[in-house]
Amino acid sequence: MTAPVDFQDIQQLEVAFRALVTFKFSGDVEADVFFGSPIMAGALERMLAAIEAIHRAQDNEARANSWRDMYTLSRAGSRRGIVAEYYHSLPRLSEMSLTDRVDWLRVCSSPYRFDVATDLESLLGA
């Protein structure tokens, strides 16, 4: 069961989203459990989709696209390296199927999206 969360305006949603992303990628001991959390990954993906949808509904396609572009992994700078390091530190990575490794990589990188296949391939093999 999902319960709707009511933010007073788009700015509250954007601030909450950015705070969670900052926390997830902070390297703080408290954040570590959330870095590999499918629940956190799903929440961030839904929040980002809602932000983009609200901007589109307000006929602000440019703002929606700027949010989409900002959260592509190739533009994430040092966060891409954090994702790669965390992903490759998994003790049983070599035992996982390719599908499971891709799923796990998506959880680790969320809310960042893969914008090109070579980005995904380089992280899987790096």
pLDDT (tens digit per residue) in 86-102: 888 888 888 988 888 88
- Is 26:42 a contact under the CB 8 Å cutoff? no
> Rounded to an integer, what distance in angstroms lies between the CA atom of residue 90 and that of residue 109?
14
- The torsion angles phi and psi of 101, rounded to 5 degrees, stand at -65, -40
- Is 51:13 a contact under the CB 8 Å cutoff? yes
pLDDT tens-place string over residues 16-69: 999 999 999 998 888 888 988 999 999 999 999 999 999 999 999 999 999 999
- Confidence band of 123 (pLDDT split at 50, 70, 90): confident
> What does pTM read for this prediction?
0.86
Tokens 């190739």: give the residue.
74
